[in-house]
Amino acid sequence: MVVSVERDFYGNGKLVKPTDLSLGSCRSGPQTTDTVVVFDNGLQECGNSLEMTPDWLIYNSQLSYSPTSSRNVPIIRTNSAVVPIQCFYPRHGNVSSNAIKPTWIPFSTTVTAEERLAFSLRLMTADWSAPSSSVVFQLGDMFYIEASLDTQNHIPMILFVDSCVATLSPDMNSNPRYEIISNNGCLMDGMQDDSSSVFVAPRSQADKLRFMIDAFRFTDSVFSTIYITCSLRAADINQTPDPMNKACSYNKPSS
């Protein structure tokens, strides 16, 4: 988390001393200049607190200004101040394939007041050891798909795939469309009689979720390329399965 503070703190032309500023329990770093005080600290440092809502991870801190007197005189010329600081991270992210290519870009960005978690979706080899080098599949093959979350310096989290839809164009709302996963984590494709699609269990790690899909194509279409768009969501590492947080496959009765 990087916070930059103008030394002209009150906008009156009077520069405050960098040593009078603190972010939580931390002092400013070496990037501080003559006009700007810079704090560059980890999200879990300096006494920051974490708040989790259904849609957001919110890291809370406080920028404090506590003026000290100069040259041991018993006066100060400014008042102290406390400014709440919040960093928002959406817990949800859409990750789309580009013509089923395995080089999906993690869904990430950085802005002043809001940052995004780095979600990714990749086609993998059958042994899950590496991204697939091929984007061509035969009917009868399997798609080995790995969703992952780079938690970086966040608290540990668990990843869920709320939905996945296949389309003939990059527009996830276009038609025809086929719901692979829906209902907050149900692998609907596995309900088809000719499908063996499943989530891989147990997970290799909490911030990864793997699933296998039987290759398919759209009927009545001359196009063989498909696009897959998935909605991924991060949750607390201790989240137990419930109707909103699950990765469910369907067991078919044996014949």
Q: Cα separation of 202 and 175, whole Å?
A: 34
Question: Do 24 and 41 reside in the same domain of the chain?
Answer: yes
The model's pTM is 0.65
Domain-located, residue 251: no
Question: Do 188 and 216 reside in the same domain of the chain?
Answer: yes
Domain-located, residue 196: yes
Domain-located, residue 109: yes
Question: Do 152 and 108 reside in the same domain of the chain?
Answer: yes
Question: Do 105 and 187 reside in the same domain of the chain?
Answer: yes
CATH number at residue 77: 2.60.40.3210
Question: Do 197 and 132 reside in the same domain of the chain?
Answer: yes
Question: Do 195 and 106 reside in the same domain of the chain?
Answer: yes
The angle formed by the CA atoms of residues 170, 137 and 222, to the nearest 5 degrees, is 55
Of 90, 118, 137, which one is at a domain's C-terminal end? Answer: 90
Of 71, 90, 109, which one is at a domain's C-terminal end? Answer: 90
Q: Walk across the sheet containing 208-214 and list its strands.
A: 118-123, 142-150, 208-214, 198-199
Cα distances from 169 to residues 173, 185, 227, 245, in angstroms, run 9, 23, 6, 29
Say whether the peptide bond before residue 156 is cis (omega within 30 degrees of 0).
Answer: no
Of 60, 90, 120, which one is at a domain's C-terminal end? Answer: 90
Question: Do 47 and 131 reside in the same domain of the chain?
Answer: no
The domain containing residue 227 runs over which residues? 92-236
- Give the number of domains in the chain: 2
Question: Do 73 and 160 reside in the same domain of the chain?
Answer: no
Question: Do 22 and 125 reside in the same domain of the chain?
Answer: no
Domain-located, residue 252: no
Domain-located, residue 46: yes
Per-residue pLDDT of the chain (255 residues; tens, 9 = 90+): 889 999 998 888 888 999 999 999 999 888 889 999 999 988 888 898 888 888 888 889 999 999 887 666 665 777 888 999 988 888 876 666 555 433 233 333 222 334 567 889 999 999 999 999 888 888 888 999 999 998 777 778 899 999 999 998 989 999 999 999 999 999 999 998 888 999 999 999 999 999 999 988 888 887 778 899 999 999 988 988 999 999 999 987 664
Residue whose token pair is 């002043």: 112
Question: Do 157 and 232 reside in the same domain of the chain?
Answer: yes
Domain-located, residue 247: no
Question: Do 107 and 228 reside in the same domain of the chain?
Answer: yes
Question: Do 73 and 133 reside in the same domain of the chain?
Answer: no
The angle formed by the CA atoms of residues 111, 116 and 121, to the nearest 5 degrees, is 140
- Position 246 scores a pLDDT of 95
Domain-located, residue 107: yes
Domain-located, residue 99: yes
CATH number at residue 208: 2.60.40.4100
